[in-house]
């Protein structure tokens, strides 16, 4: 009763009033941020209409021509994308080559490989970062997925995607974000998009890389502010799962799942 009276009394009303007039930098009211950012359906620039030069369509046969072109660009398949963080590694290594997996890290990768295999999906490919810890994680996981082709990518290497908000305690100079940011954005653009129109069947793809890269990709794929990446935390060797539908809808089905690991196999900081 007392609480109720206080809420109805003054303080809660004052708080609500403050929230209602509060604005963020984009002129969005704090109470209704969703109204500020609509879903961009052409986020990956693969919306069929955007692939056509409309002034090339003749005005006489227009509709038919347009429909046949749209048909050509119609996406049929869904992409299931599994983003795996590398497992625990030796933080004392001076160079990338010395930053190899710890024995716990090797066990974690083993559990993740078993987990992926046990899902029984028809995996189409594995792409991994070229850094040692990602490569080693891939080697272990791929033992459980024989026949799935692997390729290495420098775009997926760890880095500083964008200055996080709120800021971190370990400050970095702008040059780090300036160099890494566009490269990690390129990784996002290269690997995360709706399926190619030529793809006939749904695909199950595995990308083995790093925590910052994965968190940035999640923000970008969901069209959330990219500088929010550091507000999330994901475990070593965990599974993050994105689905990209033919119409470009994206959903996050898992974020940093490691619930399949016994508690003693999780790294503790
Ligand atoms: C689109 O097609 C028209 C007509 O053929 C052409 O003049 C124009 O340059 C094209 N636009 C682009 C961006 O290529
Ligand atoms: C069709 O008509 C529009 C507007 O009149 C014109 O801009 C466009 O160039 C025409 N397209 C072709 C292929 O003639
Ligand atoms: C993952 O392992 C690294 C060491 O390789 C450690 O620094 C980090 O805290 C671990 N993170 C989590 C979330 O377990
Ligand atoms: C996906 O996008 C379409 C519009 O293309 C929308 O009508 C539909 O409700 C969306 N579905 C989900 C599950 O978000």
The secondary structure of residue 167, as a DSSP letter, is P
What is residue 242's three-state secondary structure?
strand
pTM of the model: 0.85
Cα–Cα distance between 164 and 15 in angstroms, integer?
27
Q: Residue 30: which pLDDT band, with cuts at 50, 70 and 90?
A: low
CB 185 within 8 A of CB 193: no
The residue whose CA is least distant from atom 8 of ligand 2 is: 55
Stretch 157-162: mean pLDDT: 97
Q: What is the pLDDT of residue 120?
A: 96
Nearest to 227 by CA among 175, 183, 179, 167: 167
pLDDT in tens, 185-217: 999 999 999 999 999 999 999 999 999 999 999
| Ligand nearest to the CA of residue 61, numbered in listed order | 2
CATH of 79-265, one of 3.40.50.1240, 3.60.15.10, 1.10.1370.30, 3.30.200.20: 3.40.50.1240
Please list the residues that pair with 125 across neighbouring strands.
149, 205
**Integer Cα distance of 249 and 230 in angstroms:** 24
Most informative mutation of 87, 258, 269 for ligand 3 (most atoms within 8 A of CB): 269
In the chain, CATH 3.40.50.1240 covers 79-265
Handedness of CA 40, 45, 49, 55 (dihedral sign): positive
Ligand 2, atom 1, lies closest to the CA of: 59
The angle subtended at Cα 221 by Cα 53 and Cα 89, nearest 5°, is: 135
* 247, 248, 253: residue to mutate for ligand 4 pocket, most atoms within 8 A of CB: 247
Q: How confident is the model at residue 34 (pLDDT cuts 50, 70, 90)?
A: low
Whole-number Å distance between alpha carbons of 81 and 60: 43
Provide the pLDDT for residue 36.
61
Ligand 2 atom with minimal separation from the 56 CA: 13
User: Going by DSSP bridges, is the β-strand pair 239-244/250-257 parallel, antiparallel, or unpaired?
Assistant: antiparallel
C-alpha to C-alpha distance for 166 and 197, rounded to whole angstroms: 40
Lowest mean pLDDT among 5-9, 214-218, 261-265: 5-9
Query: Which residues approach ligand 2 with their CB closer than 6 A?
Result: 55, 58-59
Kindly state the tokens that stand for 197: 């129109």
DSSP calls for 169-184? SS---HHHHHHHHHHH
Average of per-residue pLDDT values in the chain: 89
Residue written as token pair 């033919």: 246
109: left (phi over 0), alpha (psi -120 to 50) or beta: alpha
> How far is the centre of ligand 1, averaged over its atoms, from the C-alpha of 55 (Å)?
6
Ligand 2 atom nearest the C-alpha of 59 is 1
Q: Tens of pLDDT along 94-137?
A: 999 999 999 999 999 999 999 999 999 999 999 999 999 999 99
| Residue among 52, 53, 54, 55 to mutate when testing ligand 2 (max atoms within 8 A of CB) | 55
Both tokens assigned to 151? 């390729």
């Amino acid at each position: 009763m007392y609480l109720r009276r206080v809420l109805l009394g003054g303080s809660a009303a004052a708080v609500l009033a403050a929230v209602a007039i509060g604005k963020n930098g984009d002129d969005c009211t704090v109470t209704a941020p969703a109204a500020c950012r609509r879903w961009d359906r052409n986020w990956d620039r693969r919306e069929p209409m955007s692939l056509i030069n409309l002034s090339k369509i003749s005005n006489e046969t227009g509709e038919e021509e347009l429909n046949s072109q749209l048909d050509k660009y119609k996406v049929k398949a869904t992409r299931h994308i599994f983003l795996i963080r590398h497992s625990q590694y030796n933080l004392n290594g001076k160079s990338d080559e010395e930053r190899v997996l710890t024995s716990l890290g090797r066990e974690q990768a083993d559990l993740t490989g078993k987990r992926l295999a046990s899902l029984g999906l028809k995996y189409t490919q594995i792409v991994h970062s070229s850094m040692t810890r990602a490569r080693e994680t891939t080697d272990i996981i791929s033992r459980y997925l024989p026949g799935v082709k692997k390729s290495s990518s420098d775009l997926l290497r760890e880095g500083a995607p964008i200055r996080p908000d709120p800021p971190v305690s370990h400050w970095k100079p702008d040059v780090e974000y300036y160099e890494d940011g566009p490269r990690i954005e390129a990784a996002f653009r290269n690997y995360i998009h709706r399926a190619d129109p030529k793809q006939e069947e749904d695909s199950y793809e595995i990308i083995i890389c790093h925590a910052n890269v994965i968190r940035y990709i999640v923000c970008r794929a969901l069209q959330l502010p990219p500088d929010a990446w550091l507000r999330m935390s994901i475990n070593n060797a965990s599974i993050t799962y994105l689905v990209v539908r033919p119409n470009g809808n994206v959903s996050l089905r898992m974020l940093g799942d490691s619930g399949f690991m016994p508690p003693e196999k999780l790294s503790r900081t």
